[in-house]
């Protein structure tokens, strides 16, 4: 039996779980960062730089990048398999969908590398 090969974990249940776990990480990071910016109205470069060069923050940011990569892949995969279908696109749907997913994967990988450079390079 052939099952899906382009989804994240080759199992809908694991994808579902990965989506939830990564979502919680992303939510905590976003709320923390928004809270930090809102609580520091006259934010200067020194404080901003100190926050992101803190080792705990670097690890937190890297964890968030991993979570973002997983979350974005499962999300874009779900959308592409729902809308880029033969019903919508005809016989080239599989090719279009695969290319779309490949582009999403390459973009997300580039975002990940860029993020690592920002969080660990500065």
Partner 1 sequence: MIKAVNSQRPVNLDLRTIKLPITGVTSFLHRVSGIILFFGIAVLLYGLDKSLASAEGFAEVKECLTSPLAKFVIWGLLSALLYHLVAGIRHLIMDMGIGETLEGGKLGSKIVLVVSTIVIVLLGVWIW
Whole-number Å distance between alpha carbons of 16 and 20? 6
**Minimum distance from residue 14 beta carbon to partner 1 (Å):** 14
CB of 98 to partner 1, least distance (A): 11
- Site for partner 1 contains 104 (CB under 8 A): yes
* C-beta separation of 33 from 65 below 8 A: no
Long-range contacts of 103-109 (CB under 8 A, 24+ apart): 104/72, 104/73, 104/76, 104/77, 104/80, 105/73, 108/68, 108/69, 108/72, 108/73, 108/76, 109/69
- For partner 1, the binding residues in 1-30 under the rule CB under 8 A are 2-4, 12, 20, 23-24, 27, 30
> Do 122 and 115 form a contact (C-beta atoms < 8 A)?
no
Instruction: State the minimum distance, in angstroms, from the CB of residue 111 to partner 1.
Output: 5
Q: At closest approach, how far in Å is the CB of 94 from partner 1?
A: 9
Binders of partner 1 in range 25-84 (CB under 8 A): 27, 30-31, 38, 44-45, 48-49, 52, 68, 72, 75-76, 79, 81-84
**CA angle (97, 101, 103) in 5-degree steps:** 115
Residues within the interface to partner 1 (CB under 8 A): 2-4, 12, 20, 23-24, 27, 30-31, 38, 44-45, 48-49, 52, 68, 72, 75-76, 79, 81-87, 93, 104, 107-108, 111, 114-115, 117-118, 122
């Amino acid at each position: 039996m052939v099952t899906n090969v382009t989804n994240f974990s080759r199992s809908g249940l694991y994808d579902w779980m990965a989506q939830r776990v990564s979502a919680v990480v992303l939510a905590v990071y976003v709320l923390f960062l928004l809270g930090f910016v809102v609580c520091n109205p006259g934010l200067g470069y020194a404080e901003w730089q100190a926050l992101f060069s803190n080792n705990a923050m670097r690890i937190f940011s890297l964890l968030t990048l991993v979570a973002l990569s997983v979350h974005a892949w499962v999300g874009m995969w779900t959308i592409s398999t729902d809308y880029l279908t033969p019903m919508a696109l005809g016989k080239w749907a599989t090719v279009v969908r695969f290319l779309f997913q490949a582009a999403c994967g390459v973009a997300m990988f580039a975002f990940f590398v860029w993020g690592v450079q920002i969080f660990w390079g500065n």
